[in-house]
Amino acid sequence: MSLLKNENFKRFASGLILGFCFFGSYVHSLLLFVFILFAILFIMLFFELPTLINLPLRSFKFWLVAFLYPILPIFTLIYLTIKYRSTDFIFPLYPFIVSWVADTGAYLLGKMLGKHKICPTISPGKSWEGLFGGFISVFIFNIFILPGIKSFPFVLYLNSFLAIFLFSLLITVVAFLGDIFESKLKRRVNIKDSGILLPGHGGLFDRFDSVLFVAVFLLLIIWVNKITL
């Protein structure tokens, strides 16, 4: 089998190229990155979501669902970018990076050791071993990254292994729920991927499913933090 036909190679190569372009745009320009987020939202709304939830664009129910998923999460990401990029450069990227760290850890350990399935009727590839791999990856990542994010909600409380452990567990579960939620939608309409835009990954929902959930979770934490202070 040639490399170009190997799914794992396509997944790695396209992920590397797209990741470089995506994060490169964030480093280069606030406006460019926000434009890309709006472009992602446009493609999700008009090219992927109608198939994913099996509803026509003109229906009220479609836009009710769309507001919660993906409009609210994408606007949350835009809000975090505009508000924090100039003062805390890494913080707006956290939902993206931590979600993909969880996904990578789960994928690798699940491939090697995954035997005990979590919900085989919804997502046969998801295993408890993979979920544990995602958690360990997020925990290690957070140990190094959280102390350097000064705008992070509850940053004063995330100064111990126990606090980071518990927060990493929450983030891993939220990211997993985002993944499973999209898998459930695809299972309902009997499709493998939400689209074909990203070689080896599928559509934009396939790549950003966990990010959407994590973004809203972080927004809730920010609100709770403001209320309790």
The DSSP-derived string for 23-46 is HHHHHH-HHHHHHHHHHHHHHIII
26: CB partners within 8 A, 6+ apart: 33, 81, 85, 92, 93
Q: Residue 159 — pLDDT band, cuts 50, 70, 90?
A: low
The pLDDT tens digits for 37-65 are 999 999 999 999 999 999 999 999 999 99
Residue 221 tokens read as: 């934490």
Over residues 127-139, mean pLDDT: 97
Q: Residue 19 — pLDDT band, cuts 50, 70, 90?
A: confident
Range in 5-14, 114-123, 165-174 the model is least confident about: 5-14
What is the per-residue burial (b if ≥16 Cβ within 10 Å, else e) of 170-209?
ebbbbbbebbbbbbebbeeeeeeebbebbebbbbbbbbbb
The answer to whether 97 touches 23, Cβ cutoff 8 Å, is: no
111: CB partners within 8 A, 6+ apart: 130
The pLDDT tens digits for 179-189 are 999 999 999 99
pLDDT above 70: residue 122: yes
Residue 32 tokens read as: 């460019």
- Residue 7: the pLDDT is 59
Q: What's phi and psi for 117, nearest 5 deg? A: -75, 145
Over residues 160-183, mean pLDDT: 94
Residue 123 tokens read as: 């997502």
Instruction: Report cis status (omega within 30 of 0) of the bond before 92.
Output: no
User: How do the domains of the chain map onto residue ranges?
Assistant: 3-228
118: CB partners within 8 A, 6+ apart: 126, 127, 128, 131
- Residue 226: the pLDDT is 75
The pLDDT tens digits for 70-118 are 999 999 999 999 999 999 999 999 999 999 999 999 999 999 998 999 9
Percent of the chain with pLDDT over 70: 88
Q: Select, from the ranges 160-164, 208-212, 221-225, the one with the highest average predicted confidence (pLDDT).
A: 208-212
The answer to whether 138 touches 144, Cβ cutoff 8 Å, is: no
